[in-house]
Structure 1
């Protein structure tokens, strides 16, 4: 029977992989934030960093890396399946083909930007997180300090890669720049808002890990 730590890893891995797929689907929509075009993926994507921090904290960088790669591969599989299904001839009388293709036929630039940003930023996040954990001072003592410190840098890389690949040249430059800055600020803001809950979860799990 798997122990608590093994069961928890299964949940973490499932949530991490699922969050990426959900954010890619949500990113198809651009919503209006006071004149700024923002992709819908920013609503859920910061959760990947929160889960990633918990994984690297309790399971180490190697396992965290494997989960990132698994998330990447599963999303590639999902994209392939969606494109195959779109290409299949629609049944007579089913009038949702265009709508289905619009939603699940990922724009190549968006999906490429999303996957590259996910892999690169999360790997960077894990590296910085572990360096901070092994560093003297507040970062070694505080999980939240490590989580927010690593995310501050990783989100920069994420916003740069995703926004550049997905929207540079598609949106006017001032809108592109505003969206990239807003995506970064919103992502960090979500983590700051949820950091107290994340700290409680980390502390609770640490207690269970050593039981």
Structure 2
């Protein structure tokens, strides 16, 4: 099951990078990149991985995501710059959708590697203290802290110097409120995934024991 978690995690990361060029709004005050509705699912996946398979597996998943994002960036740059066939009339649209500024890409990578590793560290520390109890606490505490760090680092690197400081604060606050609420809503999903995986792992273990009995 760990392989499935890794695959879904990496896939969501790449997808979030692709759709990040679109902005959407909630009411009149909150403006978010479309990636936000995808990226919020990556933290529960990391938490589930650490809960079931341990800290080492969680860090390996984070590293795989980081490497994959760099590879995706390299290949996107290559595909943008190779000569377009005469029959292909959408080169400008292709570039607009897939090419982000260097600052945005850098902000994404830096905020990702710091916040996701922090999520693994905090979640694992709380699991060491509580064992299997209080999954809701370590899931929300690790995600809310790491999301705050992720949002702050990303916005500061991507937009500092290009917009007023008060706007930076508003962007950080509004995006974090959205992510905070999403973290709470996702808690039952974490419980569901952990339960299903542990049940599947136990079933597989029992079948193996019966086979060798």
TM-score, length basis structure 1? 0.88
Q: Secondary structure at the match of 2:41?
A: helix
Matched, 1:160 2:179: no
Aligned length: 202
Could you say what the CA RMSD is over the residues aligned between the two structures, in angstroms?
Answer: 1.7
Aligned to 2:79: 85
**Corresponding residue for 1:126?**
120
Partner of 2:12: 19
Which structure 1 residue ranges, 4+ long, deviate > 6 Å from structure 2?
A: none
C-alpha displacement of 1:122: 0.8
Give yes or no for contact 1:37–1:175 (8 Å, CA) kept in 2.
no
Contact between 1:132 and 1:140, CA under 8 Å: does it hold in 2? Answer: no
Which residues in structure 2 correspond to 1:54-203 (within 5 Å)? 54-136=48-130, 141-203=133-195
TM-score by length of structure 2 reads 0.88
SS in 2 for 1:135: helix
Structure 2: stretches of 5+ with no match in the other structure = 204-213
Larger Rg: 2
Equivalence for 1:53: 47
| C-alpha contact (below 8 Å) 2:30/2:175 kept by paired residues | no
Structure 1 residue 32: Cα displacement: 3.2
